[in-house]
Structure 1
Amino acid sequence: MEKQEFSVGESSTKTKKSECTEEKFVWPWVGLVANIPTVADDSGRRVGRSGSTLRDELIQKGFNPTRVIPIWNFKGHSGFVLVEFAKGFKGFENAMNFERSYRSDGHGKKDWEKGARLRDDKPYGWVCREDDYKRSGIVGQKVKKKRDLKSLSQLQEEEERKMFHLVKNMSQSIDMKILSKQELEHKVDETSRVLESVELHNYQLNEKYKQEVEKTQANLRDQYQQIMIGHEKSMTDLETERQKLENRARQIYINEAEMEKSRLEIEMNQKAMLEQNEANMEAMKLAEKHQKEKEKLHEKLMEMEAKLNETQELELEIEKLKGSTNVMKHMADGDVELMEKMAKTQMELEAREAALHDKIMSLTQKERMANDEFQEARKEMIQFWNENEDLVSGEQIRVKRMGHLDTKPFVVAVKKKLRGGSRAKAELKAMELCSFWEGQIGNVHWYPFRVDESDGIAKNVVDNNDEKLVKLTDAYGEQLYNEVVRAKMEIVEYNPSGGYVVSELWNFEKNRKATLEEATDVMLKIRKKVVTMKNKRKRH
């Protein structure tokens, strides 16, 4: 913000005066026009031209008054009017141009004060000063009402004091933002270290699980080989016994009792062979079941290796590990040593699961807190940008209203459609059309998009068959269609449930959401600029 300097033109002096002798003006700036023509109405009361008519005449002359107020007394219109101007530098410049215009035409304040016999019937005008403020009568009362006397140096001091406080407050705010940024960076570093620790622990747990599965698979292979060896040995023993019984039967030729005994022994041997065959079949089925369980374990291992880097699915993986442990427990039925080992492994897994779950919960809470602080910082920066638009107007990082419609394409499209029509009519129609589509964009029930997965990634694309968009394109063309689609896409992305426009820090150079670091750099740049301006004023 630049320092305002006030110049009074011919009435100012180049040398500095002390405050007690410096010319004082009525502030806010006000001019006085005298000798306004008046006539008597039927009741004898004096009337004159209205303030709005005089204001329009002064505006046409380029003086830009904010209001013109006729002064009335008990007789009616007094012939005087007050001309109010804006408070700032531009208002003072307009007021002095107003005074110079009357003075150059021989109708200034000095010309008015020469006396009634030297005046003509034209209006006289000037800017009110201390003598006008202290004037008696109805004119002096109206001039003093809600106004004060101030010199130009006093006004400049007030502006400098306001600028000093503004710069000071902004500097303190920037310092606080820098501290907050440093704290957030510290928290981010701490969160990164925790994540690295969790990742290392996941890797170690994965390696331990691989070792346990490989060991279990080796035990299954040993058990299967032992079953096959025992089966072959049993078959060999039974075959040897069968041959012995057959040889003995050949030797028994007379004794019927011996023959019957031999027959019974042969039948028992055959029955034992049948039972052994059934046992062999069960063993083969059990071996096949173990093979299938091994294949399932291998598939589960491959699935876990693909998901171990995602901590969100850790609980599911542990449940699968528990299921695998139950399968091994079933296979180890009757083996006391293996069952005790499996129970110990189960307890260790449960302990690790609880510890890892606590770490994940703590990490999630810290991440949520850090994210909340980042969002709060963005809200404060957006508020700062909105309150200091003059300071950030030239920066690439500015506030963008997501979902807001630009009225320019509407005006262009309507003018193109209404060829030969008046400009005012086209602009009115454009405003009505823009207002209608703002309502459609905020309507959460209107969703002119569809999901496209042609490239393997689900994304929202415009539904070219949407009835409202088709009518809009046919009526007003592609440019207006693109503007409506852009605004609707921003609403769907940034506020799908509310449907109203939201503010966001935006990098207009790269056409994307601005990062917190980029916004902070801009704030530091603004602070440096303000400090430089302050130092220049001190040197002068």
Structure 2
Amino acid sequence: MSFIISLFHLAMADIVFQMGSSSSEESDISDAEIDEYKAKPYELLKSGFYKIKGPNGVLRCPFCAGKKKQDYQYNHLYQHAIGVAKGTAKSAKQRANHLALANYLEHDKPAEAEPMILPAPPEKSEQGELLYCWPWIGIIVNIRRRGQIGEGNLGSTSYWLNKYSKYKPLEVELFWDGDESNAQAVMRFGNDWDGFKNALEFEKSFAVGGKSRKEWESCENSSDIYGWFARDHDYKSEGPVGNYLRSKSELKTITEVVHEANKDTKKVVGNLVEEIDMNNESLDALQTQYNQRTLSLTRLLQEKDDLHRSFCEETRKLQRMAREHVRRVLDEQEMLNSNEERNKSLQMATEEQRKTDVNVQHLLEEQKREKAEALRKVLDLERRVGERQKLEMEIVDLEGKLEIIKHMGGHDEEAVQLKIKSMNEELQDRNDRLSFLEDTYTQLLQRERQNTDELQICRKLLVESLSPTPSNSRVSIGVKRVGEIDESAFKNACKQKLPPEEVDFEAAKLTSMWQEKLKDPGWHPFRIVTDGNGDSKARYAEEFREDYESLQELRKEWGDEAYVAVAKASKEIHEYNPSGCYVTNELWNFKEDRKATLKEVVAFIISQVKTLKRKR
């Protein structure tokens, strides 16, 4: 309780001192004002706001709280105050405070000049072992803010983690004094034995350079950094480091740590043994199930082998009986068949072939007649259309003349009426002829549409019955996928530019890409041209554009063969399926590279049938 009251008095003294200072003193004072400024802390020391004696009776510097050791003898504390007051490393305010402390010790506390009460040696356990702060912690003291020139940012925890990274610290905490010019740091290591080893190596690195705790306690005004392994005396010390150790760790001996580790190990081993026992029980149950299923499977396999053996015997028996039966049938057939019957069969096959040829010839002739009849009717229709147009013009002319005569009138009224009657009769006759021509025209159009539909049905059936013919086939008539790009053109182009293992993939990729372009209605390498001089009789047509930009890029990159393949497919789609823009199957004359007529397809089929029969 007395320690807490002392801390409270110190805090209140610092608050009163700051409130009593002027605004110019809040920042700092100049060197010329040190003698004038020392009077105020001197008065506070005399009044008891600043105390130089700690709770345990040792002397301490009230202006260096939380920095260095706080267990001075009288002469050491006096030398400390004189050294800081005359030095230049501290600020002018700190020098004035220490100058006031030196005057106070010299004039007001001479009776304190007595031997220092030495702190008790590090406590040990009942067995004589040292007590360590666990989890393992290292301490760094005398950290001064010297800027970032050559040293790095000393106020950053990452700096200290990187500086001592070889000891694998987990985290670092910094504790700065009031004016943030001096600090202490605690460095936490792992809880295991690797952490203990790293903490010892950390302490050893300072001890080798003469910067251990022992040297720190005996030094004065040193600017070096000191460090050591946190033990019981650090755990019981005053200040922020002691508070941190008491809140974040506990004192343990190595034996205690080993004992706790053994307890944890035994607990883990017990859990593992229990788990192994459970796994063994499960394994035994699984082994029992495995044995049962193995026995059942063995029986099933034995039954399967017996069934298979019986099946093989029955199969061999049936095969033997079938061979004997076939042999008897063949012998009887050979006896029944004679040369006369064979000749008769050949004559019947020849007769059937002749009938088939005659039927096909009749079909071709009938198709030819129908085609000629259709052509004649079309020509007759065109002639009648011309006559109809002429009759319509004559009717319009007669109607005009009739209107003129009706409006003329005159003296010879009877002659005019006769003329009108005559023209009306002529007009009626021509209207009748016009109606007849229109009826005939409608019938011819219906007949032509019917013939066209029948021909399309025939072509569709032939396309479905014949499979698509490969591009490298030697047949003259077949089914072609009109508008499909020949992939071999891209393969030949890729062979000249790519390794052999990439040719097929790249050729398929390019073929697919250009096939998709052909399906795009926006990709249209055609232009409209006219064969007239711009008059009313001029005819318009679409012409393929060889200078189309994307086609020229294709020719430049992959050569003429690929360009020709794409151009050919585009022309075929434009000619045979311009509305759909997709690949279609069509009867094709491969010899002349054009659409095949029905006559050519029927003739080809007849020749193929004859060839097959000759082979038989």
Name the TM-score, length of structure 1 as normaliser: 0.44
Higher-Rg structure is 2
Name the TM-score, length of structure 2 as normaliser: 0.39
Q: Which has the higher contact order (CA 8 A, sep 6+)?
A: 1
